[in-house]
């Protein structure tokens, strides 16, 4: 690789990105796994309505996190019609999406009287951080992209 390839943003090394749909799916799977593990540990069962009742606040929060990360990427972008939105990157997108998932998810649970004990907030923050940032770290390593 020549020196010009390293500084050229259009070179193949810099243009390889993780597909948006795959990144969204990975976040959704991370939230579903978190909910299913939690329900199993509390012996709440896996009835569809119960799983969905626990799941939807966190999925909505994840979507909100994606929206906030997307807008942030556009605001800091130097291009009019492009953006630096890379949801598979840990910094800043992954952190924004993770924090929004926990914070907004807990607010929705509180508003719906689903319970937001401090111990649950701590466990949710750690588990969702591990799942949501973990897959991003694996992708970064696999694609040889350093964040």
Report the predicted TM-score, pTM, of the whole model to 2 decimal places.
Answer: 0.82
Q: Which residues contact 13 (CB under 8 A, 6 or more apart)?
A: 1, 5, 6
Residue 76 pLDDT: 77
Q: Read off the pLDDT of each residue in 69-79 and give the average, rounded to a whole number.
A: 83
User: What is the average pLDDT across 39-44?
Assistant: 87
pLDDT confidence of residue 61: 98
Greater confidence, 52 or 84?
52
DSSP state of 106: H
Question: Quick one: pLDDT band at residue 6, thresholds 50, 70, 90?
Answer: very low
pLDDT recorded at residue 75: 83
Backbone angles phi, psi at 84, to 5 degrees: -105, 30
77, 84 Cβ separation under 8 angstroms: yes
The mean-pLDDT minimum among 22-26, 46-50, 62-66 falls in: 46-50
Give which of 15, 6, 7, 18 is closest to 141, Cα–Cα: 18
Whether residue 58 has pLDDT greater than 50: yes
| Mean pLDDT confidence for 3-22 | 56
**Chain length of the chain:** 147
Taking the C-alpha atoms of residue 123 and residue 38, their distance in angstroms, rounded to an integer, is 10
Contact between residue 72 and residue 66 where contact means Cβ atoms under 8 Å apart: no
């Amino acid at each position: 690789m020549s020196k010009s390839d390293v500084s050229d943003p259009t070179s193949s090394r810099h243009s390889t990105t993780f597909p948006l749909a795959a990144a969204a799916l990975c976040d959704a799977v991370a939230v579903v796994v978190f909910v299913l593990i939690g329900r199993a540990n509390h012996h709440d069962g896996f009835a569809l309505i119960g799983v969905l009742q626990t799941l939807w606040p966190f999925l909505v929060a994840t979507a909100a996190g994606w929206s906030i990360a997307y807008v942030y990427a556009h605001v800091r972008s130097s291009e009019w019609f492009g953006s630096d939105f890379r949801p598979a990157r840990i910094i800043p997108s992954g952190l924004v999406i993770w924090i929004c998932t926990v914070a907004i998810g807990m607010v929705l649970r509180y508003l719906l009287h689903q319970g937001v004990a401090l111990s649950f907030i701590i466990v949710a923050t750690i588990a969702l951080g591990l799942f949501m940032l973990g897959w991003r770290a694996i992708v970064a390593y696999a694609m040889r992209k350093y964040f």
